Amino acid sequence: MTALPKTKYTLEGYFELERNSEGWFEYFDGDVFEMSGVHPRRGQIEMNLATILNPHALNRGCRIFPSNVRVKVPTLPPYRCPDLSAMYGKPTFEEINGLPCLTNPALIVEILSPTTEAFDRGEKFKRYKSIKSFREYILISQDQKNITHYLKQSKKFWRQADYNDGENLKIETLGFEISVDEVYQSINIDSETGF
């Protein structure tokens, strides 16, 4: 995630940028961040996860959405672009300034990078909680084999568990178990490029 030059954007200016650009951007309090420049390791993790989850999601009547599908976050307007999102049943969308935004994700996945990890674990997670349907959050490290899983237990309480090499994680939204090793398949964590 890269910040654009130090210009404060209005929401209208941000929407114009979104409609007229080939890339996609996130807006936060007047700052606009270009969502590009993905590290190869991060891209491989996202592909591995989507490949593993999609057949199981479809069999259960769930849908998996990639990072370029916007998700409406009521307390962090106008929307976010999580690395993956999923929901059970029929997706609902709200048009925000001409752009469709998913309003009912149950599962949100973020692949962590050194520049986004603190925000993804803190402020972004806090804001995602304002989505009524949201009940499962998965954070995947791209620098070590580690997955943090949050599962909503009540309005105020989320259970947290960390998973490492050789362990399995049950994704409750999809009713499916995956292994940490599958998520990191074909990735060399010790290599700078990841391969």
**Is the domain of 128 the same as that of 43?**
yes
**Is the domain of 100 the same as that of 141?**
yes
Before 78, cis peptide (omega within 30)?
A: yes
Identify the residue whose tokens are 């990072």: 67
Answer yes or no: are the C-beta atoms of 105 and 72 closer than 8 Å.
no
**Is the domain of 49 the same as that of 31?**
no
**Is the domain of 5 the same as that of 61?**
no
Residue 9 lies in a domain: yes
Residue 190 lies in a domain: no
pLDDT band at 15 (very low <50, low <70, confident <90, very high): confident
Inform me whether the pLDDT recorded for 106 exceeds 80. yes
Inform me whether the pLDDT recorded for 193 exceeds 80. no
**Is the domain of 103 the same as that of 160?**
yes
Q: Quote the distance between the C-alpha of residue 126 and its chain's center.
A: 14
What pLDDT shows up at residue 144? 92
What pLDDT shows up at residue 133? 97
**Is the domain of 18 the same as that of 91?**
no
This prediction's pTM: 0.86
Inform me whether the pLDDT recorded for 151 exceeds 80. yes
Q: Report the distance separating Cα 123 and Cα 190, nearest Å.
A: 29
Identify the residue whose tokens are 């989320």: 158
**Is the domain of 117 the same as that of 32?**
no
What pLDDT shows up at residue 40? 86
* Domain total of the chain: 2
**Is the domain of 97 the same as that of 32?**
no
Residue 188 lies in a domain: no
* Long-range contact set of residues 161-168: C-beta below 8 Å, sequence gap at least 24: none
**Is the domain of 53 the same as that of 8?**
no
Listed in sequence order, the residues at least 6 apart from 37 whose beta carbon sits closer than 8 Å to its beta carbon are 2
Report the chain's mean pLDDT, rounded to a whole number: 89
pLDDT band at 35 (very low <50, low <70, confident <90, very high): low
**Is the domain of 8 the same as that of 44?**
no
Residues paired with 63 in a beta bridge = 87
Answer yes or no: are the C-beta atoms of 56 and 24 closer than 8 Å.
no
Main-chain phi, psi angles of 21, to 5 degrees = -115, 155
**Is the domain of 31 the same as that of 93?**
no
**Is the domain of 178 the same as that of 90?**
yes
pLDDT band at 37 (very low <50, low <70, confident <90, very high): low
Q: Mean pLDDT throughout 32-43?
A: 74
**Residue 103 sits in a domain of what CATH number?**
3.90.1570.10
What's the domain range around 102? 38-183
Q: Encode pLDDT of 45-97 as tens digits.
A: 999 999 999 998 998 999 999 988 999 999 998 899 999 999 989 999 999 98
SS3 104: coil
Q: Report the distance separating Cα 180 and Cα 163, nearest Å.
A: 7
What pLDDT shows up at residue 22? 65
Inform me whether the pLDDT recorded for 25 exceeds 80. no
Name the residue among 195, 193, 185, 188 with its Cα closest to residue 45: 185
Residue 13 lies in a domain: yes
Answer yes or no: are the C-beta atoms of 150 and 136 closer than 8 Å.
yes
Amino acid identity for residue 91 in this structure: P
Inform me whether the pLDDT recorded for 2 exceeds 80. no
